[in-house]
Amino acid sequence: MAELDAVFKDLCAFMNDLSVERCYGCEISHPSQREHACLCATDDEIFLTNFDAAFDLLNKDKLLLAVRDLLRTRGLEKFC
Ligand SMILES: [Zn+2]
C-alpha cells in the first residue's frame, strides 16, 4: 500500500513540524537541546502530545472527502 506509506510519511513530517512549532525551547531559542521537546521526544511522544492540536488543524470536510475517495478506489463503497 504505497499510498498509505506516503500518507504516513506526510503525517510524520507534519507532526514533527507541529512539534517544532509548539516547542517552547524553539520559541525562546533556548541554547540547551534538553529544553527542546521537539528534540527530546520520541515519535510516539510527539504524536501523543500533539495529536489534539493536529486534529484541531485538520480540515475535516476535506479529510472525509479524501477518505471517501480512497474507499471508492479500493472498492469499499459500502463504508462510505
Ligand atoms: Zn525545539
Ligand 1 centroid, distance to 30 Cα (angstroms): 8
- 6-54 pLDDT, tens digit per residue, is 888 998 899 999 999 999 999 999 999 999 999 999 989 999 999 999 9
Contact 33, 39 (CB under 8 A): yes
The x, y and z cell numbers of residue 10, run together, are 506526510
Distance from C-alpha of 20 to C-alpha of 11, rounded to nearest angstrom:
14
Q: Give the tens place of pLDDT for each residue, 56-80.
A: 988 888 888 988 998 999 898 888 7
Contact criterion met (CB below 8 Å) for 19 and 37: yes
Measured in angstroms, how far is the CA atom of residue 34 from the centroid of ligand 1? 9
Q: Which residue has the cell 493536529?
A: 54
- Residues in the 5 Å CB sphere of ion ligand 1: 23, 25-26, 36, 38
Amino acid of residue 46? I
Q: From ligand 1's centre to the CA of 19, what distance in Å? A: 8
**What spacing in Å lies between the alpha carbon of 68 and ligand 1's midpoint?**
36
